[in-house]
Structure 1
């Protein structure tokens, strides 16, 4: 399952990148995130591995993040993996002018085992969750830039 989301952020690309690159901000725009723990590699760089723990309505979901690309301030890519799903995400940041940035997020989900049967039924909720996370990120950045 693949989909792309896009937002225009009223802030410079540099401000957007700084906010995106700061792991302290994650809980602001991903409110179900409980912990972010660096595991190995140089933090924030390709090859770095981190453990993300989410509380999804009382259910603990653990994802292992592996950074695959970091091209500051243009793009950031990573994979997010657990026993039920593999997700590859590419974030691209394009300066439209000094105070506007286009943020494009490309998602690819590959479900594992029996969860593959669920893919058609959860696509809408996954896209909605991605939209909500992006909206929270945009609000956070625009409030900081104001």
Structure 2
């Protein structure tokens, strides 16, 4: 399953990248994030891996994040590997003429096991969750609104 989403953020690209590329800021826009543990590689660089733990409803979800490309301020590509779900995410940041930034997120999901059925029956749920994160980042970047409040 593949989809592309975008959102306009009313800030210059350098400010967007500064807020987006901060491990400390993740908890303010990724609802449910419990922890991020660096596993190996140089933090923030291509090849680095981290374990992310989220609380989703009553269950915890762990995934391994791998940075596959760092070309900031233009692009940041990641993969997320969780039980029965593999997500390839390409993030692009475009400077707009009005001084704002367009964040474009290209996502590809690959499913196995039970999640194949979920991906087939509820593809919109993945797209919706991705867009909720984008909206939460926009609110945090522009107005300082945290999902923790």
Which TM-score tier does this pair reach, normalised by the shorter chain? over 0.9
- Unaligned 5+ runs, structure 2: 145-149
Instruction: For 1:26-105, list aligned pairs within 5 A.
Output: 26-97=26-97, 99-105=99-105
Give the alignment's Cα RMSD to 1 decimal: 1.1
**Greater percentage in helix:** 1
Distance in 2 between the 1:38 and 1:98 partners?
Answer: 37
Structure 1: 4+ residue segments shifted above 2 A: none
Distance in 2 between the 1:75 and 1:122 partners?
Answer: 29
Paired residues, number: 144
- Unaligned 5+ runs, structure 1: none
Under a length normalisation based on structure 1, what TM-score does the superposition of the two structures give? 0.95
Distance in 1 between the 2:3 and 2:45 partners?
Answer: 25
Question: 3-state DSSP class of the match of 2:68?
Answer: strand
Other-structure match for 1:18:
18
CA offset at residue 98 of structure 1?
A: 6.2
